Amino acid sequence: MEIGKKINGKTIVITGGTGSLGQALTKRLLKTEVKTIRIFSRNENKQITMAENIEDKDGRLRFFIGDVRDDHRLKHALEGADIVFHAAALKHVPVIEYNPFEGIKTNVIGSQNVIDACLHQDVQIAVGIGTDKAVSPLNTYGATKLLMEKLFVTANNYLNPKKHKTKFLALRYGNVLGSSGSVIPRFINMIKQNKKITITDPNMTRFSLTMDQALDFILDSTFSGKGSEIFVPKLKAYTIKDLKDALFELLKDTGYKKIPVRQGEKFHETLINYDEMRNTWENKSKYIILNPLSANFDKVKSSYTKIDFQTPYSSETVKKMSIKELKASITNSNLL
């Protein structure tokens, strides 16, 4: 069955829905026969801007002011919801390094509040949107997102099948090309201002994921998951040097200068570390990290193939995109 048919008539809640992912997901969902999309976020100005920029002919889009730290408000926002995409988070690494208490309140306690609200309102599916930085975390942001993952994949332990039906799962991927705070829009802005772009090291690598790829991955995983899994897409990667060269060819060569590595920044991204490999399976498009404590463990693993790679799944080791591929991806993503 197509994803569109599975989502028809559903009421969707997106926490942190005014962000880049939330807005793109909303636009995709409005192309289906979804019943209602509720945007739950704390910034009223972003909600107003989003409402003005997204065409909603049928009046299916709703906006709820609220913070995931407020469990009472969350329970009201999730009343009657079928699917929850939890994307709300404090995400900027240096900011959370300086304000770790706030990162924990939003990313950890806020995630627990979302889980509690989903159980309270008997939501069908709850999806935690994660990040590569949760893998062997080097910074506070990564540590909080690791805990978010742990909360989501173990939330099924709290289910009483006779009372609750919620299916919890987590998704993990790297930065989406062009998302807020990512490197490509920053580089493009510098080049257009005729400034040298700032690079920590040209040999750094990052996974490549377009917004359309991210949306396909999110929706496919939402309906293929049985509960307690972490889904990871199969991706190519790129070097910062090749990204620089691709942008210079697309725009103009303004040169670059090296800057110190940011606090908590990794040289390469890792999506599956060495210790997780023993519990990782795969299909054609993605990897599935299973929770051995889950009641679904045996049922789920029988649907996939055990991985056979011997090293962690890292942007250092996977196949790299060519400069030509990078240029096409940037152009097709309308980032220029």
Angle CA 116–121–127, to nearest 5:
60
Residues 6+ apart with CB under 8 A from 134: 142, 143, 145, 146, 148, 149, 172
d(CA 114, CA 256): 43
Give residue 318's identity as a one-letter amino acid code.
V
**Strand pairing partners for 126?**
84, 168
The yes-or-no answer on residue 236 being catalytic is no
Alpha helices, DSSP H only, in 158-282? 183-192, 211-224, 240-250
Alpha helices, DSSP H only, in the chain? 3-7, 20-29, 44-53, 71-77, 93-98, 100-103, 110-120, 140-154, 183-192, 211-224, 240-250, 297-301, 323-332
| Of residues 227, 202, 216, 196, the one with CA closest to residue 285 | 216
> 135 is written with which tokens?
């893998």
Q: Which residue has the tokens 């995983």?
A: 221
| Of residues 157, 311, 291, 151, the one with CA closest to residue 231 | 291
> 30 is written with which tokens?
């409005």
Catalytically annotated residue among 10, 91, 133, 244: 133
d(CA 17, CA 23): 6
Q: Which value, in Å, is the radius of gyration of the alpha carbons in the chain?
A: 20
Question: Which residues are known catalytic residues?
Answer: 133
